[in-house]
Structure 1
Amino acid sequence: MAHRDVLDALQRDYAARAEAIRRDLGRSHSADFAEQAQQRQNDEVLEALLAEAEQGLLLVRQAQQRLAEGRYGECLCCGEPIEAARLAALPVAEYCLGCAQFN
């Protein structure tokens, strides 16, 4: 699968996840106080998951920008190529393994 296809699939996944979480957060809460307290705790978890999805979207957009500029797969720190296995495991990787330890 081409890098562009992988990044596009990741973008769709993060966007769908974020949208589903936003829908869940927009639902109304129960009138029962005890149940409402539990729902508010659940909302906190959903808000953290939404923040993760939005961060994932940002990282994908940045990787797509690097791809468009011809810099995808190039370490932002040392300029060397990022290992293929690392990009396969983490398509939004910004750093090679050596530099990732320091960033």
Structure 2
Amino acid sequence: MAATVPDDIVKTLHARLAELGGNIARIETALRAPLDADFAEQAAELEGQDALHGIEGSHLAEAQAIHAALARIAAGNYGECSNCGAEIPAARLRAVPTATRCVNCAD
């Protein structure tokens, strides 16, 4: 079982999750906005929506990784390499709090 999870990592995960939630909500609001009546403007807006969908997908994937990390914390196996079972160093977890593999296995 992994060592106790430092509070700063837990706080970082929760803060980033809250930030992502706000970003996702703003993107969803923008995507629900009606299109302009002008066809040329609609084309530009649709192009912008494509970009927003990409960003939203990225944010959703990151939020899923954070939820998985929080689940590992709750289960008591956060910080264990999912490949070899070794302990992931705290410095790596501070740099990449959603890391599931140690540096050797990640390479």
TM-score of the superposed pair, with normalisation by structure 2 = 0.89
User: Gaps (5+ residues) in structure 2?
Assistant: 1-5
User: Gaps (5+ residues) in structure 1?
Assistant: none
Aligned residue-pair number: 101
Q: Which residue of 1 is the match for residue 45 of structure 2?
A: 39
Identical residues among aligned pairs (%): 33
Q: Which residue of 1 is the match for residue 26 of structure 2?
A: 20
Q: CA deviation at 1:84?
A: 2.0
Structure with the larger RCO, 1 or 2 (CA within 8 Å, 6+ apart): 2
Cα distance in 2, alignment partners of residues 89 and 5 from structure 1: 13
Q: Which residue of 1 is the match for residue 102 of structure 2?
A: 96
Cα distance in 2, alignment partners of residues 25 and 56 from structure 1: 20
Structure 1's consecutive aligned runs of 4 or more residues displaced over 3 angstroms after TM superposition are: none
TM-score of the superposed pair, with normalisation by structure 1 = 0.92
Deviations 1:5-63 (Å, cap 9, x if unpaired)? 12111111111111111111111111111111010000000000000111011000000
Q: Pairwise CA RMSD of aligned residues?
A: 1.1
